[in-house]
Amino acid sequence: MQFVQNNIWLILTAVVAAYMLIWPALGKRFSGVVDVGVTEAVTLLNHNDAVILDVREDSEYYSGHVPHSRHIPLGALNKRHVELDKFKGKPLIVVCRSGARSGSACGMLRKLGFEQVYNLSGGVGAWQQANMPMEK
């Protein structure tokens, strides 16, 4: 007990650091967002008629994007999500540069009633690294 009293700030720092490491993984699990790799994304595209949504900014999108992807920047998704309503019954693969913004977009889309939402793990970078086609 004396150790705890003498080192309370050290213990609190360790608890906060552990929380910060564990929370992102738990948050994804409870939000219903599923990460998929490039192989799983291609399978969803080919066998389940999935739709790809690119949430990067305009300049990023126009510098190169996944073929046939739809483009709605993350900042505009709240206003423009109705453009995707016709795809609510299909799998929706969300992509950004690295997978972080698309993870946020997946959470937003789940709250808006989209049930089959997938986050492309590693984003466009992973897509390019797998030598998948890109278009401008």
CATH classification number, 33-129, choose in 3.40.640.10, 3.40.250.10, 3.40.50.300, 3.30.70.590? 3.40.250.10
Mean pLDDT of 1-15: 82
Residue 87 scores a pLDDT above 90: yes
What pTM was computed for the model? Answer: 0.78
Question: Which positions are catalytic?
Answer: 96
pLDDT at position 66, please?
Answer: 96
Return mean pLDDT, the chain: 89
Segment 29-43, tens digit of pLDDT: 555 678 999 999 999
Mean pLDDT of 94-114: 92
Cα–Cα distance measured from residue 33 to residue 92, given in angstroms and rounded to the nearest whole number: 11
Q: Indicate the pLDDT class of residue 21, thresholds 50, 70 and 90.
A: confident
Domain locations in the chain?
A: 1-31, 33-129
φ, ψ dihedrals at 55, nearest 5° = -105, 15
Cα–Cα distance measured from residue 121 to residue 126, given in angstroms and rounded to the nearest whole number: 7
Distance of CA 10 to the CA centre of its chain: 34
